[in-house]
Each structure stands twice: as structure tokens, then as C-alpha cells.
Structure 1
């Protein structure tokens, strides 16, 4: 089929590479405009644009999908527009441009976790299973007819970064298979139930650790917010980021109380104590928690400290 691909971040670039390698023809991509990054605030292309340029594919980077973009898409006349984390709203009047519609790859088992952060939500809420879904975009939020799905187990040590990377590759295969099925006419779209659960975009404030809650809840929240925006806590006016942790079988510490052992750092929670694996102090890089502790003043290690 003749495709225009819409996507922006790295997981979308994985899907684009897979479609390019398939028997379908990717004639153009839609992606977000170049963004400023780094200390020099220089402009950088999106991962999707970088892949497109490597393959001499036309790149469209509108700030929003306007009439000019619609006119160009109608000139290209794609059979389908596969979408992976594009980042722009698709106007309803543009949905009928491709013959087979705009086909979104979403990293959840719809209607579970519609919205912007499905992978994080699956980990945070303790889902045993997640997956990916391809569906035809309609005017609702992730409510269109389902075309294909795959399932994956949420592992006890999965962070959102690890799980998303895994789903990006299996989902890329699913998207290519969906394009095959649409071309062959072998897919029967299945309507979604009207009700569903939602995973809104995560704000930095959402990633603050509440040490008074259960250790398992904290563990899931930390993993859900790793690597971005990063789970964090406070000590006075200082903010510390915390990486994935290990739950112990003891509960000797008060919530937020920090204890320094010879080769470990423990923190109390609302249930069991936890061992920190990584800590990022203000103005520093993420580092091994035991190494961070060894760099503290002797009196701090001896007296302990408390996170809020």
C-alpha cells in the first residue's frame, strides 16, 4: 500500500523503519517540527524525521494540520496513514483522506488505558498484562474500531522505558501486519466498548514519592516514572530523583526515614522498608545509591536523614 507515516519520538521511528522494510511504500512522513535541545538549544530533527531523511522520504512538519497539509495529503493520495505518537490533533475533516483511514498504534490493550501515558499507567496500577492495539482513528480519544492486538506480560522489574521499548518493536510488527491485512481485506474492524479507562499525560508533580503509602505502590510508581519524568522526593529544599528500588521483608523505619548501612541505603514506607538502587542528588548525575551515601558527611550518615 501507499503510506504516509505520522509520528515523532523514538518508538515511532522503530515503526517507521519496520514499514520501510515491508512491502509497502512509505511516500511521506508527518512529524513535529525540529525542537531545541541541549545546552546550546540547537535545533534537532525528530527521530522520525531523521529516519525519513536517511531514506530520502518527503517530510512534512506542520505546527498543526492545516488546509495546506490537507491539500498536500490529498495530492499524495495515501491508501492509509499509520500513526505512532505523532503529537498533533487530527481534524475530523481530514480523517477520510486515506482510503483505509488513519491507523493508530497505541501501547495498551484498548479500551484499557486510552490517552497519553498508557505504559506508565499499566505499571503504576499493577496490571499483570498489557500490549498494543492498532485501531482506526475517529473523532474520539482512542475510541475507534480495533483492527489488531498483541499482548505482553508486565514484568516485576519493568520500568516504563523498558516496557515501552519492548512494545515499540513488537508493536511495529503489529502495525506492519495491520497494513498487510487492510490491503488483503482480511481484517474485520471491531467496535470498542463505550466505557474505557484513561491515562492522562503525566506531570512532574505526579512523580513525587509518597513514602507513607505501601511499599509495593511506591515500587510501581517509581518504575512507572522511570526514566521520565523521574520519581522524586524532597529533603528540605533539595529535590532528589530516585531510581527503581527493592522491597525488603522488614519495617524498622518510619515513612521517609533514611538509614545508611555499609553497602546500602534504606528508606521507610507505609509498609516494608525499601533499598534504594540509584539516587540523583541536586545538580548531580544519577548514581549508585551506596556510592552517593559514601559521599555524604559522616554526621549525616550517622544521624540519618528524612525524605518528605
Structure 2
């Protein structure tokens, strides 16, 4: 961990600063997580001269074109929007260059080609959801929870060739609760990260920003690769703690799963029981009314919040009231 990591003991309201109007900033992001950062920069008085986000995509039953969360915010606040399909497209590169940005800010966006991230005089900074160099990759929040970490944080850093390896500018850490889900960490992190991003942009504006190279690659670094379907399948040969962490690390999306009578069963929350048993790992017990538990290596997990294939998400009592084993 970098020595200057700040501690964040509890969620706090973002304190906005004024005067960040000189440098021209292009913001790049797509999902709702990035909206908090864009909103913080706007409210801090930053001069956002353009917003780059994903193209509109068909979604929903009617497959109607849907705008990204960042585009919706940008349109509502009369910010210029660019939606390139390919980031190396000459027309996009020319339009981006015409914005004459001094700085580019990236939050939850795609991998950028060098012609893009190296364009501004002050470079491009990224907000990453971990304490770099730990958990480089696409899903740092999920993997921190899956691995049972007690602490995580956010990092602002300068983009360079290799993903998530640029010089660190600022970091802030905060605790992960024992039963906290990835979704809950996400919701706290987006505000903590937005606040840190404003501080970083202000430091760049004032000429007081520092850059510290990340440590060289070592064998103890943990990574955060993209989550695939096979990642989400519960292995009941694992310990109760490992299953509990997997479930909360994938909740609410994409959700851990197992099977129940040959149907996919998504699991969003479990409680733990540590006890020796003679059951086959993965076998279940139920009273048909109040509990459904699965055997693990060193005890049981009681599923509390589930969704059976073809059914609605519901608590375990509601599920058992209408399910016949």
C-alpha cells in the first residue's frame, strides 16, 4: 500500500471546492458509478468541456435505445457529449482534439489507446476502486469482498500503457463490513472516490499534485479480473466463510448461484453456521417453512435471499411457502 493512503472511517458528504474553472477537462465514463464523480466535478466548479461515454444501446423488452447513466446526466446539465464506437476513429480523435482539454478524467470507462490518453498537456487521470497496486483489473470491488478483505479504498493515478499501473496521485481507504455486499461497498465507494477525485483535480490545478510510481510487480499482488459465469457458481466444498464471501461479493449482480432440483438458484445473502457434520457437501436440509441450508466443508450456509430460475427474488420464508420439494 502507498504510504500516503488516507483513512476514511465513515461515509461523509462530499465537500465541494470552488475555483476549479481554469483547466479544460474532458470526462470519460459510462455507468452510474461514474455519475457521482462527474457530478462532484461539476459542483466543484470544474470546466467540463466534453463528456465521452458509450453509444446508446438497445435495452429492455422493447429493445429501445437507452442512454448510459453518464450521458443522461450530461444531457441534463447541457454538457457536450461524444459517443464513439471506436476510440481510434479519426473523426472522434479530431473532435476530441478540438476540445483542447488540459486534463482528461476517466471513471469506469473503456481501455484507452495512447493517442487518446496522451492527448492532453496534463495527461489523463483515472479513478480506480482499490488501493493500487492491489486489485488491478475490471472488478476490484467484487474481488476485494470475495477474498474477505477487511479494507479497500480508491486510488487516483496517471494513465500509462499497462492497465492500472500508472503513477499514484492520491488514495483513500475505508473498512468493509463483515456482512457488507459488493453493491453496498460500491455505493459508498462512488462518493468517497468522487471526493478524492475533486481533491486530485484541485491539486493538479494548483500545481501541488504529486506522482508516486507503483511498486514493481511482486508475487503477493491480488488481481481483479472480469467476473465470468463460472466465477459465480458456488463450490460447497469451500469453507462457510468462503461461500459467504462469494455470495456477498457478487450481490446484487451478477449474483452467486447453485442449483435446486436442476434449476438455477441465485443466492443474494446467507448466514453462517460453523459445525462438524457428516452430510455431503452441497446437500441441503429444510423444514419447508423457515430455513434452507446447504452443507459446506466446515458447516452450513442458510440461504436468506434467493431467486429461483423463472421466479421473482424473495426472502426464504416467502420462497418456502410456495415451493414443493
TM range (shorter): over 0.9
Superposition deviation, residue 194 in structure 1 = 2.2
Which of 284, 292, 296 matches 1:258? 284
Match in the other structure for 1:21 = 43
Name the residue aligned to 2:77: 55
- Structure 2 partner of 1:224: 249
Deviations 1:7-58 (A, max 9, x none): 0000001111111101211111000001111111111100000000001101
Mean CA deviation greater in 262-271 or 205-214: 262-271
Pairs within 5 Å for 1:113-128: 113-128=135-150
Aligned partner of 1:293 in structure 2 is 320
Q: Cα offset for 1:236?
A: 4.5
State which drifts further: 67-76 or 10-19.
67-76
**In the alignment, which residue of structure 1 is the partner of 2:8?**
none
How many residue pairs end up in the alignment?
297
Q: Does 1:133 align with 2:155?
A: yes
User: How far apart are the structure 2 equivalents of 1:235 and 1:294?
Assistant: 16
Counterpart residue number, 1:204: 229
Q: Are 1:80 and 2:103 an aligned pair?
A: yes
CA distance in 2, matches of 1:294, 1:99: 63
Cα distance in 2 between the residues matched to 1:120 and 1:51: 26
Structure 1 SS opposite 2:299: coil
Q: Is the 8 A contact 2:104 2:117 kept in 1?
A: no
Instruction: Provide, for residues 72-109 of structure 1, a one-character-per-residue CA deviation record: whole Å limited to 9, x for no partner.
Output: 1221111111100112x211123321122111000000
Q: Can you give the 5+ residue segments of structure 2 that lack an aligned partner in the other structure?
A: 1-22
Please list, as runs of the form range in 1=range in 2, the aligned pairs for 1:1-308 lying within 5 A after superposition.
1-66=23-88, 67-87=90-110, 89-195=111-217, 196-252=221-277, 253-261=279-287, 262-297=289-324, 300=325
Q: Which one scores higher on RCO, CA 8 angstroms, separation ≥ 6?
A: 2
- Give me the whole-angstrom Cα distance separating, in 2, the residues matched to 1:197 and 1:278: 29
Contact 2:150 2:178 in 1 (8 A): no
How far residue 251 of structure 1 moved from its aligned partner, in angstroms, is 4.2
What's the TM-score once normalised by structure 2's chain length?
Answer: 0.88
* Superposition CA RMSD, Å: 1.3
Post-superposition Cα deviations, 1:170-217, rounded to whole Å, max 9, x if no partner, equal: 100111111000011111100001214321100122100011110000
CA contact (8 A) 2:123 2:158 kept: yes
Give the Cα separation in 2 of the matches to 1:251 and 1:208: 24
- Alpha-carbon separation, structure 2, partners of 1:148 and 1:206: 31
Q: Which portions of structure 1, spanning 4 or more consecutive aligned residues, are displaced by more than 4 angstroms?
A: none
